[in-house]
Every structure is written in structure tokens, then in C-alpha cells.
Structure 1
Amino acid sequence: MATKFELPSPAVVVDLDIAERNIARVADLARQNGKKLRPHIKPHKSTYFARQQLAAGAQGITVAKISEAEVMAAHGITDILIAYSLVGDEKLARLKRLHERAQIVTTVDGLEVARGLATVGSTERPLPVLIEIDSGTHRGGCQPGQAALALAQQVRTFPSLHLQGLFTYGGNIYGSRNRAELAAHAAAEAGVLRATAALLEQNGIPVSVLSGGSTPATVVLDKLEGVTEIRPGNYVFFDVSGLNLGIATVNDCALRVLATVVSVPLPGYATIDAGSKALTSDPAERSQEYGYLVDLPDVHLVKLNEEHGYLRYDPAQRELHVGDRIEIIPNHACVVPNLSGVLYGVRGGKVEREIAVEARGKNY
């Protein structure tokens, strides 16, 4: 059995002990707080980890794109929320086929989207939908309150749609600087959902699902009062953003990119064979660098080209040599499996399995 440092670099490795611990911890937190867990699979895009999440207690999964849902359903994972507005005849035809063989729920944030979705369901088998509420990110969703009520009333006129409840993405929580701000953002997200649900129910529209929550919100789940379903994703792996938010430690970060020093052009300068195609150029919250070097906190990854990473360090304090292996926690772990296509599951530093990323490239 090979060690992780014998893998060809750059390689994406996942410490299975850490990932399994993260999966179990969030499942336990959801149970303790009375929340249904529907994790987002976009960080791993893998049926291996989706099955682990379901085995730990998740009651379904969340995907971003219909192509991810198609992959998961083809592998027998069929309780799926597609958390994205589906627009256009091509996607609606695919959704119709999925709806016929899986338990699909999707979101709607306007009448145009609702009209399209109404062509998917039928009176005998209506398509379940959640109204997406804009809780402050302005990325999507209708506005809370009266606008949401008006849309709910319109959705209810389509017998081929079944309005289950409300959905939001509280992305502002990622700007939190401390636990108090995490709690405040989570409470605000839940408050928007509760207030809009109350307005709908006052007008005779039942609401059974309030879907929200994210990985940062899992540390303040008690603040998601009234939310029935949470959709964290990044907690499986964590990354530099999690470190900087204070919701994870290095020992919680399961996914790392292994790279090799390929050049030392000057003292204090080194180049590795992992660039943006391995690590992603996504920034992290409150960081100007492109990853955290495990056991080398004084070495800084300051720039990426497609196939090169630029390291800077104090040569009076540190030496790096061609051939040195470097272990990097990426800024944004959710992007890395989609770049790689294969993850190496390791335990105790030994490679235990190759994990396929079946939904790699399924972004349509």
C-alpha cells in the first residue's frame, strides 16, 4: 500500500478519518437540534461521500445543477433537492425525466420559472417546489414578505406544482468575523424564513419546509429557530475559508493537495507543480494567499499560474529544496474535486482507495 507522498503530484488526497469525523459530527448536530440534514454534494460531487452522508443520517441530498442530480439518481441516490432555478426547454425536459424516477424537489423565485416547472409535473404527480427567498445576498430569490406571498399564490394556481415551503441561501454569514456575528447572521436568515412562512400561513398557504443553513451555521444551529432543513456542504472537507472563519482547525481539514517543489530560483523563492488547475484561484475570506501549507506556516503561496505555484519564505529561517513534497489546504475545497476527477482516500498516511468524482464537470 503506497503512502500519500508516493502519489504522482499534484494529487488531491482526503484523510478519511477526518472526513468521516466531520460527517458524523454534523449529522449528530442536526439530530440534536431537530433539523433534517440535506447536505450539498457540490464539494465532493462523489457518490462515495454522498452515501456516507446518507448512512450517517442525512435524509436526502442537495445539488446545484440538474446534471449532478442525473448522476446521483443514476447511482440510486434519489431524494434530491435541486437548489437552482431551472430555465429553458432542454432543462425542463431533463427534469421531467428525473421527476418520473426520483423524489425531486426544486426551487422557484418568479412566475416565469413557475410556468416552466408547471410543464414538468402533473395533477397526478405534482412537482414539489420551494419558493426561494432573497435573505440579503441578492444572488437570487424573490423578496420576503408580500412579494413572496404573491408568488406563493401564483404557484398554487398550477395543479402540477406542489408548494412545500421556503428556501434561502444565507451567504452573508461568510463575512462573519467572530462567533457572535455567525450567530447574528444565522438568526437573521431564520427570521426571514419564519416571518415569510407566518405571512403565507395567515393567508391560508401551509408551509411544511423551511430550508436554510450552511456549514458556518452548523456551529450556531440553535440560532436557526424554525428552520426544518439544513444544507451544509463544505463541512465534509473544510478549507482555508473555514480556518479563517474560526469554524475549523487544520485537523478538521480533510482535503489537501500534495505538490512537489520543482524549482528554487533564488533564496526565499520556490515553485511547486500545483497551480490554479489543481488548487483553484478562488480567494479565501481574509486571506491574500492561495492556500495554507501544512507544517510550513512561515511559507506563503502568493501566486498561481495554471501549472505553477509561487512560494515565498525567509531563507534565514527556512530552506526548501527541489523534490520536497508540500501539503496544501486549498482556499476553497469545493472547487478542487471538480478540477481533479479522482480523490485519493488515505488513512494513517496510507492510500486506502481511489474515489471517483462521478459528477465532475456536471455543471450544466
Structure 2
Amino acid sequence: MYDDLPTPAVVAELDPIEANIRTMVAANARYGLKVRPHIKPHKSVFLTRLELELGCQGITCAKLGEAEVMAAAGFTDILIAFPLIGEDKMTRLARLTDQAQILTIVNSVAGARQLAQTGQSTGRPIRTLIELDGGIRRGGIQPLAPAVAFARAIHDLQGLQIVGLMYYGGTIYNEDSLEGFERVARLEQQAVTATARLLSDEGLDMGILSGGNSFAAKMPHCLAGLTEVRPGNFIFNDCNQLFAGMATEAQCSLRVVATVVCLVDSCHAIIDAGSKTLTTDLCAKHPGYGAVVGRPDICLTKLNEEHGFIESRQPLGLEIGDKIAIIPNHACVVPNLADEIYGIRNNQVERLIRIEARGMNR
């Protein structure tokens, strides 16, 4: 179906993308959760707009650069889910608050003071979520009593407005069963809601309780009591979702199309997509650097920068010039390597999707 595309090509199947969004929104709505999607997997204005048209509410950005692109495109409800530190970031944040309703996070007294000073300088308090550690120790405050102590240290800062909590339960990716996924998601719900109760008793606004990554947000029954989830990868899915049983092959909407450029022997070949297209991210639940659609016998065993090495225990049955479609191990990295991706519907290119926030990592 991709025979006419120049390769390597990144393609996005639009029908499953739309279905993935609708399913996520509907499932979470049943438990009173809104979906504030992380846009870093696609970094695209078109796909961001599609997510909101299909029921998502607000967006999440990883960095100021992404938020600036999205604000310029007209999106006005933006969470920057990364601690902003430094004079240059504060200057840009101040400008951004002129364009959109900005929400960000804090996990240090030093960071809180910088945000407060920015809020004072603009005359608009910076709306802020306290970041809780979800078990991977990458910056959040420990839940419960440590979070209360932290809140007490910053809540009187003029120019800073605490409006809730943010949690990222990254340990869920270490699990290998539905029971394990649900257990970690329930721990997230308990940590966030219990901490929120303590902070509410301190007189703090806990109107936003933000959690739920692309695994946990598929189990909203475990997250009831939060107010929103921030899945990102769900729009595409990938090998991590596929081989964890959290998505089907048909629900994996992002593919890399590659051409066979060399036949080493009947069981080994070279394709024209390497690490600069697929990335070298691995999947703990599946060997190689991606899954070939419709060909579970093929393993993508090695990547050079522009070459991919494929092999099978049986004859490949491929010829020079044949194309294969690959589901990447980690879809969130792939669009950032392309200027544009092909939006496909009914086996036809419906549109070129620009990646406007590509490289906006500051």
C-alpha cells in the first residue's frame, strides 16, 4: 500500500489515529477524567488540533519551545510538564503568558522563586503544579509529608499560584502483565489523591490532579479521583504497547516505510532506514529495532545510520526495490527526525503533516 512513497518515509495512518483518540477520550470520560495529551510524540499542529477536535481538553508540552510553537498556532490551554529554570526560560515564559493560559510545574524552592519573580514582573501569577515523584527519581517531590513540607516552603511566594499536583508513574513500563500495570496505576491514584487531601487541609487549591501516561490512561478505572490524564504515545502506539498487549498491530498507526536495497542472501537483506530514521531505542518485550507489519518472521537486527539489517529464519521472499513497513519500538522519537510525515487514509496519501515543533527541545 506504500509502494509510491519515497523512502525512508514516516507514515501516519489517519483512521487508527482518530480511533485511538476517540477511544482514549471516551474511556476516561466515564471516570470523570479529561485527556490533556502530550504533544511531544508528534510535535504537529495538525495532530494537536485533531486531538482537541475529537474531545481532548488542553495540551501538554515537554519544553518551552514546543509550547511556543503551539501558542503561535492558536492553542491557549498549555501545560509545560518540565521544570523551568534560568533567566532565559523566565523571559520566554513571561512572553508566553501573553499568548496563552500557561500551567507549569515546580519541584524545587529555587525554581519556585524564579517562577514567582516572573509572575510578579508580569502581574500574572504563574499557575503551577507541584511535581510528585512517581518512582523513577527524576525530579519530583516525594508524596505525602515531604510534599506538604515543600508546599509550606513555597506557598507564600508572591507571583506563584499552586493549583494542584502532577505525577508521572514511569515505573509502569517495567511491568509485564495487566495485573502489574493496574497495580502501578492504583499506586499512582493513591499517592496523588492522598497527597491532595493533605494539601487541601493546608488550604491549598488542589483543583488539578494530573497523571496517567499512555499505559495508565488506558486503565482509567484505576485513576478515578484524578482530574486529568496526560497520555502521548497513545495516538500512535508502538512496539512497547503492542508487545505488552496494550495495542493491536492495527492500532499502531505510525510506521516507517523502507525499501530493500541489497539482498545479502535468501535470509538477510539491507533496507534504507537506519538509526537516523528509526532511532536505536529498544523494546524489552521484542527483539530488534521494530516490528515488520505482516511479517513476524522478520527481525530488524541492526542499524547503522542509514542502513537497516533484516533477517529471517526462512527465506525472506523479497526483491530489490520491495518496500516493508515497520512499527517503531518507540514512536515518540520518530517524528522528531522528520520534517513531515505522510497522512494515509484508504491506502492513499491524504495530506502531508508538518512537524512544526521538530527540534524544539529548549
Q: Does the pair score TM above 0.5?
A: yes
Contact 1:278–1:339 (CA under 8 A) maintained in structure 2 = yes
Residue of structure 2 aligned with 1:351, choices 344, 349, 352: 349
Contact 2:186–2:222 (CA under 8 A) maintained in structure 1 = yes
Contact 2:31–2:224 (CA under 8 A) maintained in structure 1 = no
Q: Which amino acid aligns with 1:61?
A: I
For 2:106 and 2:209, locate their aligned partners in 1 and report how far apart those are by CA, in whole Å. 14
For 1:171 and 1:203, locate their aligned partners in 2 and report how far apart those are by CA, in whole Å. 28
Contact 1:5–1:258 (CA under 8 A) maintained in structure 2 = no
For 2:64 and 2:284, locate their aligned partners in 1 and report how far apart those are by CA, in whole Å. 29
Matched, 1:266 2:265: yes
For 1:265 and 1:58, locate their aligned partners in 2 and report how far apart those are by CA, in whole Å. 48
Shift of 1:135: 2.0
Report the counterpart of residue 10 of structure 1 in structure 2. Answer: 8
Contact 2:94–2:118 (CA under 8 A) maintained in structure 1 = yes
Shift of 1:124: 4.3
- Residue 284 of structure 1 aligns to a residue in which SS? coil
- Residue 157 of structure 1 aligns to a residue in which SS? coil
For 1:131 and 1:310, locate their aligned partners in 2 and report how far apart those are by CA, in whole Å. 45
Contact 1:174–1:285 (CA under 8 A) maintained in structure 2 = no
Report the counterpart of residue 230 of structure 2 in structure 1. Answer: 231
Per-residue CA distance 1:271-311 (angstroms, 9 max, x = gap): 00000111111111322310000111101101101100001
For 2:258 and 2:123, locate their aligned partners in 1 and report how far apart those are by CA, in whole Å. 55
Contact 2:163–2:204 (CA under 8 A) maintained in structure 1 = no
Report the counterpart of residue 363 of structure 1 in structure 2. Answer: 361
Per-residue CA distance 1:222-259 (angstroms, 9 max, x = gap): 11131111000101000000011111010101110000
Contact 2:217–2:230 (CA under 8 A) maintained in structure 1 = no
Which residues of 2 match residues 41-120 of structure 1 at below 5 A? 41-120=39-118
Contact 1:4–1:346 (CA under 8 A) maintained in structure 2 = no
Report the counterpart of residue 167 of structure 1 in structure 2. Answer: 166
Shift of 1:348: 1.1
- Residue 158 of structure 2 aligns to a residue in which SS? coil
Per-residue CA distance 1:180-233 (angstroms, 9 max, x = gap): 111101000111111111111222223111110011112211111311110001
User: What is the CA RMSD across the aligned residues, in angstroms?
Assistant: 1.2
Report the counterpart of residue 296 of structure 1 in structure 2. Answer: 295
Residue of structure 1 aligned with 2:27, choices 10, 26, 29: 29
Q: Which amino acid aligns with 2:341?
A: L
Contact 1:83–1:106 (CA under 8 A) maintained in structure 2 = yes
Report the counterpart of residue 216 of structure 1 in structure 2. Answer: 215
Contact 1:4–1:351 (CA under 8 A) maintained in structure 2 = no
Report the counterpart of residue 325 of structure 1 in structure 2. Answer: 323
For 1:250 and 1:10, locate their aligned partners in 2 and report how far apart those are by CA, in whole Å. 20
Per-residue CA distance 1:330-357 (angstroms, 9 max, x = gap): 0001101000120100111111100000
Q: Which amino acid aligns with 1:69?
A: A
Matched, 1:339 2:337: yes
Per-residue CA distance 1:36-93 (angstroms, 9 max, x = gap): 2110001110010101111111110000000000000000011100000111111111
- Count of matched residue positions in the alignment of Structure 1 and Structure 2: 361
For 1:221 and 1:267, locate their aligned partners in 2 and report how far apart those are by CA, in whole Å. 47
For 2:61 and 2:156, locate their aligned partners in 1 and report how far apart those are by CA, in whole Å. 27
Residue of structure 2 aligned with 1:39, choices 32, 37, 51: 37
Contact 2:185–2:222 (CA under 8 A) maintained in structure 1 = yes
For 2:266 and 2:154, locate their aligned partners in 1 and report how far apart those are by CA, in whole Å. 65
- Residue 135 of structure 1 aligns to a residue in which SS? coil
For 1:199 and 1:225, locate their aligned partners in 2 and report how far apart those are by CA, in whole Å. 18
Per-residue CA distance 1:163-195 (angstroms, 9 max, x = gap): 001111001111221111111010001111111
For 1:167 and 1:285, locate their aligned partners in 2 and report how far apart those are by CA, in whole Å. 27
Q: Which amino acid aligns with 2:40?
A: K
Matched, 1:245 2:244: yes
Q: Which amino acid aligns with 2:57?
A: Q
For 2:324 and 2:232, locate their aligned partners in 1 and report how far apart those are by CA, in whole Å. 26
Report the counterpart of residue 146 of structure 1 in structure 2. Answer: 145
- Residue 265 of structure 1 aligns to a residue in which SS? strand
Matched, 1:177 2:148: no
For 1:285 and 1:63, locate their aligned partners in 2 and report how far apart those are by CA, in whole Å. 26
- Residue 29 of structure 2 aligns to a residue in which SS? helix
Q: Which amino acid aligns with 1:116?
A: Q
Q: Which amino acid aligns with 2:342?
A: Y
Report the counterpart of residue 256 of structure 2 in structure 1. Answer: 257
TM-score (ref. length: structure 2)? 0.97
Identity of aligned residues (%): 48
Contact 2:124–2:159 (CA under 8 A) maintained in structure 1 = yes
TM-score (ref. length: structure 1)? 0.97
Q: Which amino acid aligns with 2:92?
A: R
Contact 1:33–1:221 (CA under 8 A) maintained in structure 2 = yes
Runs of 5+ consecutive residues of structure 1 not aligned to the other structure: none
Q: Which amino acid aligns with 1:55?
A: E
For 2:63 and 2:250, locate their aligned partners in 1 and report how far apart those are by CA, in whole Å. 31
